[in-house]
Amino acid sequence: MADDPQLVIEKDARTSYLEFNQREADSPYHNANLRKAISYSIDRDAVVNRILGDGSIASTGLVPAGMSFSPTDNVDFADENKDLLTYNKEKAKEYWEAAKKELNIDSFKFDIVGDDTDSTKKILEYIQGAVKENLEGVDVTVTSVPFSVRLDRGKNGNFDVIMGGWGADYSDPSSFTDLFVTGNSYNRGQYSNKEYDKLVEASGTTNAGDPDKRWNDMVDAEKVLMEDMGIAPVYQKAEAHMRNEKVKGVVTHGAGARYDYKWTYISE
């Protein structure tokens, strides 16, 4: 099936990620080492290859691949910080040990809220098992709810950790980097980082007229977010389709109108 020439994999400009509830001043999720311990426990390649198997790709950052490219050298934004988000169970254990000392705890329990679709339930069950296996003393439960309920719980802050996501409204990194500035309504966990805010603001104001500086601001903002593990990206959604080899010139877009048939033709 994977080698079938009629199989077409089309990436969406959408990233699914875990958000940590940092709304309360005493929230344990203010602790960066705890967030990192959880994130480093997740083998994202296993998620996309063993669970989804639909062409979705492991996330290397917040901004999805194939959507936006550097104005200088045409580098994919997703390649700029791709080494920051990895699976490393040894690092996960180290961060967990650091978190235990800083939080003065020996064990920890949290719940992940997610959609009740088959794919999301399987992903959360995998994350549940991976975290429990890699982080001794950590217990994880999963709460699967209808999409509308998940949105309400995210909006109201009724969660420990929540699996959400975002699809680009337009093909620019700002569609994602704007999400996690302090006070953004879509920043469900209310993550806040002054350096991140400063960089995102500069990309939309001071450096808005300079493509290179604006690009670098957004790259640096994503770097801050990933180094701080303000959220934990998991995968970029893709769809697999069968298309007759004779159909040529179909253009797909990750954001906006999905298909463009302007140049489509049937070859003989």
Q: What pLDDT is stored for residue 1 in this prediction?
A: 46
**Token digits for 255?**
């954001």
Q: What pLDDT is stored for residue 249 in this prediction?
A: 57
Of residues 105 and 247, more confidently modeled: 105
Q: Could you confirm whether domain 7-169+230-266 is CATH 3.10.105.10?
A: yes
Share the mean pLDDT of the chain: 90
Q: What pLDDT is stored for residue 53 in this prediction?
A: 86
Q: What pLDDT is stored for residue 261 in this prediction?
A: 56
Residue 99: is its pLDDT beyond 90?
yes
**Residues whose CB falls within 8 Å of the CB of residue 222, separated by 6 or more in sequence, listed in order:** 61, 62, 63, 77, 80, 81, 173, 176, 177
Task: Please report how the helices 194-204 and 211-228 are oriented relative to each other, as an axis angle in degrees rounded to 10.
Answer: 160
DSSP code at position 24: S
**Token digits for 77?**
């934004």
**Token digits for 81?**
């910080």
CB atoms within 10 A of CB 242: 9
The pLDDT of 32-52, averaged and rounded, is: 96
Could you tell me if 126 and 95 are in contact, meaning their C-beta atoms sit under 8 angstroms apart?
no
The pLDDT of 70-85, averaged and rounded, is: 94
Could you tell me if 207 and 214 are in contact, meaning their C-beta atoms sit under 8 angstroms apart?
yes
What Rg do the C-alpha atoms of the chain give, in angstroms?
19
Q: What pLDDT is stored for residue 233 in this prediction?
A: 98
The pLDDT of 157-186, averaged and rounded, is: 96
* Candidate from 27-36, 128-137, 167-176 with smallest mean pLDDT: 167-176
pTM reported for the whole predicted model: 0.88
